[in-house]
Amino acid sequence: MIEIKDLHKSYKMGSNTLHVLKGINFSVKEGELVAIMGSSGSGKSTLLNILGMLDEADSGEYTLDGVPIKNLTETKAAIYRNKFLGFIFQSFNLINYKTALENVALPLYYQKMPRKERQAKALKYLEQVGLKEWSHHLPSELSGGQKQRVAIARAMVAEPKVLLADELTGALDSKTSYEVMDLIQKINDQGNTILVVTHEPDIAQMCKRIVYLKDGVIIKDEKVEQVKASAYV
């Protein structure tokens, strides 16, 4: 599903250049649930942003579902993001003046899906994350866990190839975190490919594979025995 070869990325900080990714080689198969672990500054978020086409690599190859991701125009990148990727952010990033349903339906709006169809589909995904009754509430009327579940529904609604989650439990307490991870595991069990960036070991243990990143290189890449989040819920 994802193929990465010798990926480099550096940021200019004034006169200094900060080399964040120093040659990453890594691939993800369909249906995997991968955690990318590392302390802050290890380059894990940068890697995720490049995978998400939110940022561009300086050099290296990136192939997503057989499509080379290179020299994209803004418009092309937008279309790819919409078609291939679903994002889940630490701070949820819901649009605050739109209801849960409208937030979930937004990616479909950019696919130019008719309104009725869009709303029906969004409602279906809201139901899947257990928030059907909350569909007409604004984000400000939802709890942190509920907001993150809305965000997950939004990431899922366009049926992307890969879900990318950046510290998705970072703003949640541990009970809510496990509820969210339970949802992520269920989605993965349905066959969806998911990448989770985290610095919390217990969250990483709930994935099927952990990639350890340190100072811009992969130091360890191992399959793990998945801990079922449902045990803690």
Partner 1 sequence: MFSRDTWQEIFLSIRKNKMRTFLAGFTVTIGILIFVSLVGLTNGLQNTFNEAFGDDANNVFFLFPGRTSVPYKGYKSNRRIEFENSDLEDIEKNFENYVEYITPRIQRGGIVSYKEEYDNYTTRGVAPGHQEAEKTIMMKGRYINQEDVRHKTKYAVIGRLVEKDLFKDENAMGKFIDISGSVFKVIGVYQDDGGDNEERLIYIPYTTRQLIEKNNDKIDQIIIGFKPEIGYAGAMVFEGQLRNFMKDKKFISPDDQNGLFIRNVADQLQQTQQFSSIIAIVLSVFAFGTIIAGIIGISNIMVFVVKERTKEIGIRKALGATPKSVISTILLESVFITTLSGYAGMLIGVVIMNSIGNSLKEDYFITNPYIDFGLATTATIILIFFGALAGYIPARKAARIKPIVALRDE
Write out the residues near partner 1 by the rule CB under 8 A: 49, 52, 54-55, 74-75, 78-79, 81-83, 87, 89-91, 93-95, 97-98, 102, 106-107, 109-112, 115, 154, 158
Residue 122: CB minimum distance to partner 1, A = 12
Considering beta carbons, is residue 23 or 170 the nearer one to partner 1? 170
Residue 226: CB minimum distance to partner 1, A = 28
Q: Note every long-range contact of 121-125, with CB atoms under 8 Å and residues 24 or more positions apart, other chains counting.
A: 121/157, 122/153, 122/157, 125/153, 125/154, 125/156, 125/157
- What is the gyration radius of the CA atoms in the chain, in angstroms? 17
39 class by beta-carbon count within 10 Å (0-12 exposed, 13-18 middle, 19+ buried) = exposed
d(CA 191, CA 228): 16
Considering beta carbons, is residue 108 or 203 the nearer one to partner 1? 108
d(CA 184, CA 88): 11
Residue 45: CB minimum distance to partner 1, A = 9
Considering beta carbons, is residue 102 or 206 the nearer one to partner 1? 102
Residue 22: CB minimum distance to partner 1, A = 20
Residue 107: CB minimum distance to partner 1, A = 5
Considering beta carbons, is residue 85 or 206 the nearer one to partner 1? 85
Residue 53: CB minimum distance to partner 1, A = 9
First to last CA, the chain: 31
Considering beta carbons, is residue 109 or 228 the nearer one to partner 1? 109
DSSP 40-95: TTSSHHHHHHHHTTSS--SEEEEEETTEE--S--HHHHHHHHHHHEEEE-TT----
Cβ 207 vs Cβ 218: under 8 Å = no
Considering beta carbons, is residue 196 or 229 the nearer one to partner 1? 196
